[in-house]
């Protein structure tokens, strides 16, 4: 049976038996879009801006947009110095050239994507510049930023504002992971003048870059790519962390413009089991968070992972320690000795000295054998395992996927423990607030709680970035960035009418909120500076969501399980809440503006969708059974036919094996594919240009191998 069918079966089995599968927690609080309060910034409403956060200063942010850079105040999301806005359009000549290449007017604009600060009064920015990337040095003169110098931006900035690229400025130099060509077919990791090898699938194989960061001596890149080491039929995408040394000077001789330190490893975000269920498509990472988990101080990075776009919608957030990432790069390398052999661990005696990929003072003096080895063996044998034994949170639903996670780190609760609070953005415009209430106690027990589910943006608008903002003397807030809208919303909803009783307030399990028994209000706890006396009248229970002070009798079941069932407030019917996935839609105007933007579909009719968990499981089981039966029948017929037909030539067969990386559609020996039609409702009724190619596929191909 094919791997993808297996994966579906494994998932169904896991969910059906509810064995190791972490129960998808139910949000305690749902907040509809029309109830969302907060400031917003829309930029120029006559077109899609493709907002990109460039720099975050203490009280302002720099936002790259279409032909402009906005300086936005974090106090109220208004533009600072709108009269001195940095305007940067493509030249007429570049635009003409872009039209000649067949691009649309919206594409032939300059979208600012990349930023590096070189001093208090100067910075470097790069933009798509009508499909001819350009970098520009800016300098402040009389309070206005003026252009100083233009340089070529190819390899530093994508051509297309929607391309999945990343860049980070470290130690005065720009490190970028993007594509260097117009059609987007030549990926690279680049820091002038050093780059990854051209069209070497061992190094980069159809990557989608999601983030990058400078850490210690290294620059790390997080991305997903087609896995060269995946040896079964079809192809698989794996999440990766790649790494280069900041002081890599290139190799000796002819390798002067090639990395001597590029290594990569697989990330493992999965639900364990006989067949671990992998969330392979990394979408984003958080900043590096330092905290105390299970009694140990460590640095974590959280990542959002999903299933492929044409399969069951599954999302997860996993945490990795920076130590475990560093450790994997100290471990064994992986290799495939000949084109048909398996990928195996390289024996230590076969690794040359000095160790390939290590950071050295002058990489130009490295011996050839070391440089050749690292070029041929960029992949580490071990995967980076997630820190907690389970994803911190998982969600299986057809309605949305996670896109981005931001963390309010180490929020002190009244129990004296510190919790990382996760804000997870989705591709349908909601923000899910979640935490693992067991994180301070244990790595093995994971107890996810979803405090709230807030439809921050109009339904269907994907959240691209999230930032937690703490300003002195102001309520903290969450900044939500979409393509054409920036919003600031409260970090908590303690004052929501849904939390107006002691039980309902404590059941939120939100370290930000506590029940004040003197005023009978659910109040926000000033989490950063605790007054011990305040605790006397404040009720909060992060781990169980119950407090004796509320008059709760201890008649309810004591939580002993690893995975906690969602606790519900009084009068709530658990069945309804558990089994229904409801989307709230604002039907009059899905985009919330008076005029649709140029790129948006017009006059879409959206209808609310309600699935029940039973329907989903039923549909899945049905689909699996059908595919099993059809698979068996056609397999039987096919084997009958094969028996009477001569075997194909061996060389052809080998060729087929060699082409494993080329995707499931290569013709040849086993060309008989079965179409499994998954009845997946259109996910985004509004249509989303970014994913259209994948989502428009009417059916999912499942390729069968008969052994």
296 binds ligand NAG (CB under 6 A): yes
Question: Could you give the dihedral angle defined by the CA atoms of residues 476, 481, 485 and 487, in that order, rounded to the nearest 10 degrees?
Answer: -10
60 binds ligand NAG (CB under 6 A): yes
Rounded CA separation 398/680 (Å): 7
Of residues 128, 268, 285, 627, which one binds ligand NAG by CB under 6 A?
268
Q: Which of residues 372-411 bind ligand NAG (CB under 6 A)?
A: 383, 385
Q: Which is nearer to ligand NAG, 361 or 614 (CB)?
A: 361
DSSP codes, 323-348:
HHHHHHHHS-BEEESSTTSPEEEPPG
Rounded CA separation 516/538 (Å): 5
Of residues 164, 166, 212, 527, which one binds ligand NAG by CB under 6 A?
164
Q: Which is nearer to ligand NAG, 202 or 691 (CB)?
A: 691
For residue 259, CA distances in Å to 154, 198, 218, 274, 351 come to 18, 12, 13, 39, 18
Q: Which of residues 595-624 bind ligand NAG (CB under 6 A)?
A: none
Residue 577 C-alpha from the chain's centroid: 27
Q: How far is the CB of 385 from ligand NAG (least distance, A)?
A: 6
Rounded CA separation 424/314 (Å): 14
Rounded CA separation 227/308 (Å): 14
Of residues 16, 19, 32, 46, which one binds ligand NAG by CB under 6 A?
46
β-partners of residue 431 are: 425, 454
Binding window for ligand NAG (CB under 6 A); candidates: 267-275, 549-557, 641-649, 651-659:
267-275
324 binds ligand NAG (CB under 6 A): no
18 binds ligand NAG (CB under 6 A): no
Question: Could you give the dihedral angle defined by the CA atoms of residues 648, 649, 652 and 656, in that order, rounded to the nearest 10 degrees?
Answer: 40
Q: Which of residues 652-691 bind ligand NAG (CB under 6 A)?
A: 690-691
Of 272, 349, 274, 281, residue with least CA distance to 312: 281
Cβ contact 591:623 at 8 Å: no
Cβ contact 457:485 at 8 Å: yes
The alpha-carbon radius of gyration of the chain (Å, integer) is: 26
Q: How far is the CB of 319 from ligand NAG (least distance, A)?
A: 13
Q: Which is nearer to ligand NAG, 28 or 224 (CB)?
A: 224
Q: Which is nearer to ligand NAG, 166 or 627 (CB)?
A: 166
143 binds ligand NAG (CB under 6 A): no
Q: Which is nearer to ligand NAG, 268 or 397 (CB)?
A: 268
β-partners of residue 189 are: 177
Q: Which of residues 72-101 bind ligand NAG (CB under 6 A)?
A: 80
Report DSSP state, residue 16: H
310 binds ligand NAG (CB under 6 A): no
Of residues 9, 23, 42, 44, which one binds ligand NAG by CB under 6 A?
44
Of residues 9, 294, 358, 613, which one binds ligand NAG by CB under 6 A?
294
Cβ contact 45:491 at 8 Å: no
Q: How far is the CB of 677 from ligand NAG (least distance, A)?
A: 22
Q: How far is the CB of 479 from ligand NAG (least distance, A)?
A: 15
Q: Which is nearer to ligand NAG, 291 or 631 (CB)?
A: 291
Q: Which is nearer to ligand NAG, 311 or 501 (CB)?
A: 311
Rounded CA separation 390/316 (Å): 10
295 binds ligand NAG (CB under 6 A): yes
Instruction: Return all residues near 385 (Cβ < 8 A) that are at least 6 apart.
Output: 268, 320, 324
Which residues are near ligand NAG by CB under 6 A? 44, 46-47, 57, 60, 62, 71, 80, 163-164, 208, 268, 270, 272, 276, 283, 294-296, 361, 383, 385, 690-691
């Amino acid at each position: 049976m094919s791997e993808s069918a297996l994966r579906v079966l494994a998932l169904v089995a896991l969910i059906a038996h509810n064995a190791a599968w972490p129960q998808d927690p139910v949000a305690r609080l749902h907040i509809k879009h029309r109830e969302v309060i907060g400031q917003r910034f829309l930029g120029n409403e006559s077109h899609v801006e493709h907002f990109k956060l460039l720099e975050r200063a203490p009280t302002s942010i720099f936002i790259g947009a279409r032909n402009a850079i906005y300086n936005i105040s974090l106090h109220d999301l208004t533009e600072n110095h709108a009269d001195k806005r940095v305007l940067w359009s493509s030249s007429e000549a570049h635009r003409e050239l872009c039209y000649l290449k067949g691009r649309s007017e919206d594409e032939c604009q300059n979208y600012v994507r990349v930023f590096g600060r070189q001093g208090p009064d100067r910075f470097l920015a790069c933009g798509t510049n009508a499909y001819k990337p350009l970098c520009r040095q800016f300098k402040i003169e009389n309070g206005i930023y003026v252009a100083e110098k233009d340089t070529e931006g190819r390899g530093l900035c994508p051509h297309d504002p929607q391309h999945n690229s990343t860049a980070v400025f470290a130690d005065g130099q720009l490190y970028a992971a993007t594509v260097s060509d117009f059609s987007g077919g030549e990926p690279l990791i680049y820091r002038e003048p050093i780059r990854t090898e051209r069209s070497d699938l061992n190094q980069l194989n159809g990557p989608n870059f999601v983030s990058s960061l400078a850490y210690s001596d290294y620059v790390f890149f997080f991305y997903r790519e087609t896995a060269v080491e995946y040896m079964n039929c079809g192809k698989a995408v794996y999440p990766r962390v790649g790494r280069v040394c900041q002081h890599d000077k290139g190799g000796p001789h002819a390798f002067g413009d090639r990395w001597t330190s590029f290594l990569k490893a697989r990330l493992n975000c999965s639900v364990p089991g006989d067949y671990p269920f992998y969330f392979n498509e990394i979408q984003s990472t958080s900043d590096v968070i330092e905290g105390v988990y299970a009694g140990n101080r460590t640095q974590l990075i959280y990542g959002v992972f999903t299933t492929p776009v044409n399969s069951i919608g599954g999302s997860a957030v996993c945490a990795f320690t920076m130590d475990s990432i560093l450790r994997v790069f100290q471990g064994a390398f992986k290799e495939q000795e000949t084109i048909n052999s398996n990928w195996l661990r390289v024996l230590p005696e076969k690794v040359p000295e000095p160790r390939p990929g290590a950071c050295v003072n002058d990489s130009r003096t490295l011996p050839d054998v070391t440089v050749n080895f690292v070029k041929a063996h960029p992949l580490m044998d071990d995967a980076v395992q997630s820190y907690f034994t389970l994803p911190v949170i998982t969600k299986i639903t057809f309605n949305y996927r996670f896109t981005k996670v931001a963390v309010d780190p180490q929020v002190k609760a009244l129990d004296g423990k510190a919790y990382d609070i996760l804000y997870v953005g989705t591709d349908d415009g909601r923000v899910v607030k979640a935490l693992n209430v067991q994180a301070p106690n244990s790595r093995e027990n994971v107890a996810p709680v979803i405090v709230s589910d807030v439809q921050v943006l109009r339904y269907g608008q994907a959240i691209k970035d999230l930032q937690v903002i703490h300003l002195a003397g102001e309520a903290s807030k969450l900044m939500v960035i979409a393509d054409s809208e920036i919003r600031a919303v409260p970090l908590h909803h303690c004052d929501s009418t849904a939390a107006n009783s002691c039980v309902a307030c404590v059941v939120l399990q939100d370290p930000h909120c506590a029940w004040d028994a003197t005023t009978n209000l659910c109040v926000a706890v000033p989490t950063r500076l605790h007054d011990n006396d305040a605790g006397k009248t404040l009720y909060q229970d992060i781990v169980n969501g119950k407090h004796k002070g509320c008059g709760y009798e201890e008649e309810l079941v004591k939580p002993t399980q690893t995975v906690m069932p969602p606790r519900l407030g009084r009068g709530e019917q658990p069945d309804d809440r558990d089994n229904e996935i409801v989307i709230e839609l604002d039907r009059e105007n899905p985009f919330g503006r008076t005029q649709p933007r140029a790129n948006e579909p017009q006059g879409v009719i959206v209808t609310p969708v309600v699935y029940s968990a039973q329907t989903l499981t039923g549909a899945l089981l049905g689909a699996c059974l059908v595919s099993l039966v059809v698979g068996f029948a056609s397999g039987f017929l096919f084997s009958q036919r094969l028996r009477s037909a001569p075997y194909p030539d061996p060389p052809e067969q080998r060729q087929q094996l060699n082409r494993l990386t080329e995707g499931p559609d290569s013709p040849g020996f086993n060309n008989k594919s079965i179409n499994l039609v998954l009845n997946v409702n259109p996910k985004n009724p509004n249509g989303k240009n970014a994913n259209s190619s994948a989502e428009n596929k009417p059916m999912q191909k499942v390729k069968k191998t008969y052994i």
